[in-house]
Amino acid sequence: MRSEGAGAVVFGGASGLGEATARRLAADGAQVVIADLAHERAQAIAGEIGAVAVRADVTDPAAVEAALARAAEAERGVRIASICAGLGTPTKLLGREGPTPLETLAKIVEVNLLGTLNVLRLAAAAMVGNEPDDGGERGVCVCTASVAAYEGQIGQIAYAASKGGVVGVTLPAARELARSGVRVMTIAPGLFDTPMMAGLPEAARASLGGTVPFPARLGDPAEYAQLVAHIVANPMLNGEVVRLDGALRMAPR
């Protein structure tokens, strides 16, 4: 599917993987809406790339609908939804004072999994009314999982569960929306140089990068965005989860 003139919403587009995706899609000619709770940062990026910034929480249906509506004002309607918003709060089943509070676990699952489902259902509703392109496509949704969905580490119990759910959603969502010409894909990134990593000492960052077989470094968010752009352009990519991890397999801790 062509990006030129297509409305694209990047949820979580104010930093990290989402920011890189917003920049890449805008460079490819999409009319980008950056939807993020970090509104000032989103506005700054939007000003640089000719996009629109809206405040949005992926678990808030009205906010997600509003972001999609802005993208629908594009020349070809809303055609692309990238879901990069999420929480990576460390959690275990048992903390120093006993079982981890259920609400702590639930919040991570709410944002990462239910937030993804919320965007998928509303983006699909917005896309199915588009005129199909020459290949019969009406839209594409790209979700973000993690290698933690497969090799969750100690301290990632809720995160791994939520990202495993995103992996599980991918195929049935793609199958359901296939008749409408809407594709669903998921990327499962490994260790990337995001703001979460930026707070670590350089020695720790280098050590983490060295655990990646090849290339032995942290991933560049632009490489994630490059894959999003390819997914948008390649209509045969549908219903699949692509690991973007340099052959990394996470250790228990």
159 is catalytic: yes
Cα torsion through 156, 195, 241, 165, rounded to 10: 40
Which of 11, 159, 192, 224 is flagged as catalytic? 159
Amino acid at 206: A
DSSP calls for 62-81: HHHHHHHHHHTTSTT-EEEE
Q: Which residues pair with 83 in a beta bridge?
A: 11
- CB-based burial label for 24 (10 Å; 0-12, 13-18, 19+): buried
CA distance 116 to 11: 10
Task: Tell me which residues are annotated as active site.
Answer: 159
